[in-house]
Structure 1
Amino acid sequence: MALLALLVLLALAGPVGGTWDTCRGTCGLRPMAFDHSSVVPDCDSEDEDTTLGSSDGLSLLVDGPGVPSGTWPGIVSIQANLENGTWHMCSGALIHPQWVLTVARCFIEAEDTSRWEVAIGATDLAKPGPEYKLRRILRVLMHQNYDADSECNNIALLQLDQPVECSDYIQLGCVPDSSLAVAELRTCFIAGWRASPGRAPTTGVALQEAKVRLIDVQLCNSSRWYGGAVHPQDLCAGYPRGGIDTCQGDIGGPLVCKDNVGDFFWLVGLASWGRGCSGDKRPGVFTSTQHFHTWIQVQIGLVPPITAAPPPKPKPTIHTFEPEPEPESDTFITISFPKDILLRFFKNLQDFLEFLRDKMG
């Protein structure tokens, strides 16, 4: 599967000048993180931390200092520079040295993104560290069929004004293609930004994480859950009885799952919407990145857009000297000869061949 991850990235990203070498031709790596699968609380475990089910609606871990630096090197903070300060608007995932994958909902009411920025390589925006990079947004590519009312096709791409170099703190996310059985992945995480009370809108934001499980979409879409509101291109993740979920401020945040064989993570979803936070039978709904794999490649320019096949060229007309059939007659013409004429013909032909043989013999 490690080779598969490399092939996926080669198909999705492609080289971009000298920045490609710094990514070592791989994606989904977490070089600064240890094995979190046994450390991050599982909501369904018997020793569940009751703070995960608190009623304040902030269902990621909000009381801690945040995750260690470099824990999730693919997540980014998308920020708006406004007159009253710099605000964290939503999250995204770096999938290419110059492209960020996020959700269209983040930009549905944005009038001018020229002053927006993308913070990369930091977990605590108050203390971003030496690997922290800031890029402006060159352009926003929202899905052409995005519906703000139903959140259908809730996905977007951001082209950065300059590419970034990969490091221990900045890595690319692996977008799976149709060959990956996403439903079979068992170790999954969500991450989001949380602002501490009394601190500045951006400088007080730290990255938090939580362990989740993928939930069958049919169950998630049943009458007692979301009642058909989940689209085929969506995923559900969390727990049936709630307790851990994305919430306000987590929009566009990545849903990542560890590969069942290789030591890397797949970027399988982006936080899209939900009803409330961490409620019973109300898990988070995520845009499935796998569903939009080809769309992503087309937008980045790695594959040509899919167009309608051109009409077939007319076949050349071949003129023959065969007599045309009479109207309403068979296409094939049958010509018959009397039997005695045919016998004389073949007898003369045989005599002629014997004559030639004697002359040449």
Structure 2
Amino acid sequence: MPQAAVPRTRNPPLRDISPGSKDTVAAVGIAAVAVLLHGALSACCSHEPLAAMNWLSLLVLMTVAGLAHSMEYTCGGTCGLQAVPSVYHPMTYSYGSLDYGMTRVVGGADALPGAWPWIVSIRHPWVPGLRHLCGGSLIRAEWVLTAAHCFDQVTDIGMVYLVIGATQLTQPGPGAQLRRVKQLVIHPYYNPDDYSYDIALLELDHPVLCSPYIQLACVPDATLRVSELQNCWVAGWGSTAPRAQTSSDHLQEATVQLINLKICNSSRWYAGKIHTHNLCAGYPQGLIDTCQGDSGGPLMCQEKNSDYWWVVGITSWGKGCARARRPGVYTSTLYFSDWILFQMRLSPDGSPSPTSRACSHFLTTSHFWIHYITTPQPPLKPWPRATPSPKPMPVPTMGKVNSCPFPIKILMEFFIRVKELLQQIFGQNTS
């Protein structure tokens, strides 16, 4: 996306939340927890053999150390939560006094690691430079949402690979994960001439593991009023200036405004080229926009009075970058929420659909375009909204309580509670 022609020192400094810095916190936490637990257990079980005490202390250390050094876990349970909030605060614009004569390109800033943990870099070895082809959004552990036009020139999907959990392309870091593509699903009505139905899904060769740097994105359901969302952002590794031919090494982010489709489609703007399944976002003056290389990446809006972020759009196209009355054009994920569920072999209630695999349109090594057909879309069905579901606390049993609770069941309950507590602690350390 375009960036201001100013020294890079104007960008907010990066806060080090790399695994190296977390190891220091983890080491202190391990030592403190071990000392406290050893003392407490010694007081409780002073009559037990020393070997048993040492064994229990060792189990505690292994539990804590494992959490500190391996924060990866199976994705699921929640979506749309940032590990690190964005700190970039651009100028605020309104539709009031517009200065259409402004031609300055003012863009985003370097995103912090974990700020947008669902963003994906889609790469191809034939792309010059950083090999970055397009962006994408991780919406399931094995599914990435992106734009169909990213694959217009791709003849072998087996050469495409994805990097998840990275902020800098040249130094993805130890938290990043690499995946290959199992299959590519392109909307059957996609038209490369006018970029209608510009949406695609990538199924990964195997699921990713979530971490503070890798989280699932939320896709809106019919209950979300996208037009009322105000805190919206774009992010990507695209060009930082118009007509630039290289991608940005560091993930860029910027805040944008949703623009009414009637205004965006008016004669002085895009003059009827915007479809009903599109969104427009940017500013009437231009100034901030997505650019080449940001295609397929997310347009994200925060839910009111909530910490949840929704991927409401997929970066599709635009006339130039950051031009006045030429905002970025995005594919609406709300419009295609039912199609997305269907292709992932999920029914609207989240259970597998036995017929969806046979009906899906999969792409492997070549393209089979079905041009734009004005067919009515099926009614939208609610997207299964993922919300945290706390585990029920174990019900205490009645009866005599031993002074030293060493039974396996009690030990397992104890370690589960320790694990949940430490996950909360380490989660707070990354925010």
Deviation sequence 1:179-215 (CA, Å, 0-9, x none): 1100000100000104689xx978x621000000101
Secondary structure of 2:263's aligned partner: helix
Q: Which amino acid aligns with 2:119?
A: I
Cα distance in 1, alignment partners of residues 342 and 316 from structure 2: 22
Cα distance in 1, alignment partners of residues 297 and 91 from structure 2: 19
Q: Which amino acid aligns with 2:256?
A: V
Specify whether residues 22 and 35 from structure 1 end up closer, same or farther in structure 2 by C-alpha distance, changes over 3 A only.
same
Determine which of 329, 345, 351 is the counterpart of 1:285: 329
Cα distance in 1, alignment partners of residues 240 and 276 from structure 2: 36
Secondary structure of 1:268's aligned partner: strand
Matches within 5 A, 1:29-48: 29-31=81-83, 33-34=84-85, 36=87, 39-44=88-93
Runs of 4+ in 1 over 6 A off after TM superposition: none
Specify whether residues 213 and 196 from structure 1 end up closer, same or farther in structure 2 by C-alpha distance, changes over 3 A only.
closer
Matches within 5 A, 1:272-351: 272-303=316-347, 304=353
Matches within 5 A, 1:98-177: 98-177=142-221
Aligned-pair CA distance for 1:40: 2.4
Q: Which amino acid aligns with 1:223?
A: S
Deviation sequence 1:231-270 (CA, Å, 0-9, x none): 0000000111110011111111100000002211011001
Secondary structure of 2:339's aligned partner: helix
Specify whether residues 177 and 217 from structure 1 end up closer, same or farther in structure 2 by C-alpha distance, changes over 3 A only.
same
Secondary structure of 2:227's aligned partner: helix
> Structure 1: any 5+ residue segments left out of the alignment?
1-18, 46-52, 308-361
Aligned-pair CA distance for 1:82: 2.7
Aligned-pair CA distance for 1:34: 2.6
Q: Which amino acid aligns with 2:107?
A: L
Determine which of 231, 235, 242 is the counterpart of 2:286: 242
Query: 2:18 maps to what in 1?
Result: none
Q: TM (normalized to structure 1)?
A: 0.70
Cα distance in 2, alignment partners of residues 257 and 23 from structure 1: 21
Q: Number of paired residues?
A: 271
Specify whether residues 153 and 20 from structure 1 end up closer, same or farther in structure 2 by C-alpha distance, changes over 3 A only.
farther
Deviation sequence 1:94-126 (CA, Å, 0-9, x none): 000000000000012211121111010011112
Percent of paired sites with the same residue: 47
Secondary structure of 1:242's aligned partner: coil
Cα distance in 1, alignment partners of residues 204 and 251 from structure 2: 22
For the Cα contact (< 8 Å) 2:238–2:292, is it kept in 1?
A: no
For the Cα contact (< 8 Å) 1:119–1:133, is it kept in 2?
A: yes
Aligned-pair CA distance for 1:70: 1.0
Secondary structure of 2:210's aligned partner: coil
Cα distance in 2, alignment partners of residues 83 and 188 from structure 1: 30
Specify whether residues 196 and 179 from structure 1 end up closer, same or farther in structure 2 by C-alpha distance, changes over 3 A only.
closer
Specify whether residues 154 and 196 from structure 1 end up closer, same or farther in structure 2 by C-alpha distance, changes over 3 A only.
closer
Determine which of 107, 119, 123 is the counterpart of 1:60: 107
Q: TM (normalized to structure 2)?
A: 0.59
Secondary structure of 1:105's aligned partner: helix
Secondary structure of 1:297's aligned partner: helix
Q: Please state if 1:25 is matched with 2:69.
A: no
Cα distance in 1, alignment partners of residues 281 and 300 from structure 2: 10
Aligned-pair CA distance for 1:128: 1.1
Aligned-pair CA distance for 1:89: 0.7
The structure with the largest strand share of the pair is: 1
Secondary structure of 1:296's aligned partner: helix
Cα distance in 2, alignment partners of residues 205 and 195 from structure 1: 10
